[in-house]
Amino acid sequence: MGMLFSHDTLPQRVLFGTGKAAEHLGAEVDRFGASRVMVIAGRRDSDTVAGLTARLPVALHYSDIVQHVPIESAEKARAAARENDIDLLVCLGGGSAVGLAKAIALDTALPIIAIPTTYAGSEATNVWGQTEAGRKSTGVDARVLPATVIYDAALSLSLPVGLSVASGLNAMAHCIDSLWGPRADPINAALAGEGIRALADGLPAIVADPEGVHGREQALYGAYLSAVAFASAGSGMHHKICHVLGGTYNMPHAQTHATVLPYVLAFNAPAAPGAESRIAAAFGSSTALEGLNALRKRLDAPRALKDYGFDAADIPEAVSLILPVVPANNPRTVTAENLAALLAAAHRGAPTSAVSVGFPPPES
């Protein structure tokens, strides 16, 4: 029958250029005609923000940013925006800063200019998330899509190599998950394949030369592609797992994604030959899992969930929370038993080589 699919492209302006962030930000603030800007950035970025916004009409600098956007944090930030008559949000940093800006926009419909300094990708999606009573909820809303994204590799030079690796593998997870997400289509697949290639080029370059620009530019480019693909395809099995782990057990976002990814790939790839071959081609490897594992070895990537505070005793509860939200179109049928085995393997950092026929037994 040939190709048959539906694809939505999100309306967003992207400005890319190393050393150009201040120039691009100033032009965008003028374009919006803003007179009372709220700048959202962590305290460690205060000097960077001061330089970028020195000539802008900033009404409020806001730095109370919390991972996974607790509802209390969101409400406090929304109140601050209203009290200061804010007409434009500017966020700089990683996914937590962008997430807080989205939480404000969800309530106020204020436009957002996002300046990412990590590879989280939230800046390119219309997906919001927040945590209440230990449970993370997500949704899709046009109001939270940043109107403009400004990418400047120079702003990521302060991101430590280890966090760069974890954040970049989070972006890789966006690419891979989008190949079997609920709304996966050929356009998403093309973006994801190029995103994998760019990240596989950029991340080793960052490790080899942390002060170099090439690797960081490639990683930002790959992160953008990964997020666009993910926003269109929707959350697949990998993201459903990581959202539960992050929101329920307060685990670090990037490291959790980086750790879980090879296990989900090993689980799904044998049942998704088209996606598997595209991932392998993007890595330039004989199989998708071989390519990912080789990259992870070069990067000294995060290995085990137990290293980030996840307890094996929490696996049954995690399974009960994840299983109902796994998309129905996942390539392989997910059961309580094989999901528990996946989490157990990720918990201890077990090899993924035998996963296609069942996870390795627990270590004796």
* Beta carbons of 209 and 161 less than 8 angstroms apart: no
pLDDT score recorded for residue 200: 98
Residue 129 sits at the vertex; the CA angle it makes with 185 and 120, to the nearest 5 degrees, is 65
Cα–Cα distance measured from residue 279 to residue 193, given in angstroms and rounded to the nearest whole number: 6
> Of 246, 262, 254, 362, which Cα lies nearest the Cα of 312?
362
- Summarize the confidence of residues 250-257 as an average pLDDT: 93
Residue 287 tokens, joined = 């199989």
Indicate the Cα dihedral angle 100, 101, 106, 110, nearest 10°.
160
**pLDDT higher than 60, residue 89:** yes
Residue 227 sits at the vertex; the CA angle it makes with 124 and 33, to the nearest 5 degrees, is 5
- Summarize the confidence of residues 325-339 as an average pLDDT: 95
Q: Report the half-sphere exposure of 202 (CA within 13 A, side-chain side).
A: 29
> Of 65, 69, 141, which Cα lies nearest the Cα of 105?
141
Cα–Cα distance measured from residue 192 to residue 199, given in angstroms and rounded to the nearest whole number: 10
pLDDT score recorded for residue 361: 43
Cα–Cα distance measured from residue 136 to residue 249, given in angstroms and rounded to the nearest whole number: 10
pLDDT score recorded for residue 150: 97
Predicted confidence band at 315 (pLDDT cuts at 50, 70, 90)?
very high
pLDDT score recorded for residue 309: 93
Q: Report the half-sphere exposure of 130 (CA within 13 A, side-chain side).
A: 19
pLDDT score recorded for residue 363: 41
pLDDT score recorded for residue 135: 78
Alpha carbon distances (Å) from 137 to 124, 159, 247, 257, 326: 19, 28, 8, 17, 14
**pLDDT higher than 70, residue 335:** yes
**Number of neighbouring beta carbons within 10 Å of residue 109:** 11
pLDDT score recorded for residue 360: 47
pLDDT digits (tens, 9 = 90+) for 106-158: 999 999 999 999 998 999 999 898 888 777 778 889 999 999 999 999 999 99
pLDDT score recorded for residue 264: 96
With tokens 């998330």, the residue in question is 129
Q: Which CATH architecture has domain 13-156?
A: 3-Layer(aba) Sandwich (3.40)
Residue 208 tokens, joined = 């080899």
Q: What percent of the chain has pLDDT over 90?
A: 83
For the question of whether the overall pTM of this predicted structure is more than 0.95, the answer is no
Sign of CA pseudo-dihedral 125, 261, 222, 282: negative
- Summarize the confidence of residues 270-287 as an average pLDDT: 96
pLDDT score recorded for residue 8: 82
pLDDT score recorded for residue 136: 77
pLDDT digits (tens, 9 = 90+) for 33-62: 999 999 999 998 889 999 999 999 999 999
Kindly report the three-state secondary structure assignment for every residue of the chain.
CCCCCCCCCCCCEEEECCCCHHHHHHHHHHHHCCCCEEEEECHHHHHHHHHHHCCCCEEEEECCCCCCCEHHHHHHHHHHHHHCCCCEEEEEECHHHHHHHHHHHHHHCCCEEEEECCCCCHHHCCEEEEEECCEEEEEECHHHCCCEEEECHHHHCCCCHHHHHHHHHHHHHHHHHHCCCCCCCHHHHHHHHHHHHHHHHHHHHHHHCCCCCHHHHHHHHHHHHHHHHHHHHCCCHHHHHHHHHHHHHCCCHHHHHHHHHHHHHHHHHHHCHHHHHHHHHHHCCCCHHHHHHHHHHHHCCCCCHHHHCCCHHHHHHHHHHHHHHCCCCCCCCCCHHHHHHHHHHHHHCCCCCCHHHCCCCCCC
Cα–Cα distance measured from residue 120 to residue 95, given in angstroms and rounded to the nearest whole number: 5
Residue 288 tokens, joined = 């998708």
The β-bridge partners of 149 are: 14, 114
Domain boundaries, the chain: 13-156, 163-357
pLDDT digits (tens, 9 = 90+) for 4-40: 888 888 899 999 999 999 999 999 999 999 999 999 9
Cα–Cα distance measured from residue 168 to residue 170, given in angstroms and rounded to the nearest whole number: 5
pLDDT score recorded for residue 304: 96
Please, what is the average pLDDT of the chain?
93
Residue 220 tokens, joined = 């930002």
pLDDT digits (tens, 9 = 90+) for 211-250: 999 999 999 999 999 999 999 999 999 999 999 999 899 8
Q: Which CATH architecture has domain 163-357?
A: Up-down Bundle (1.20)
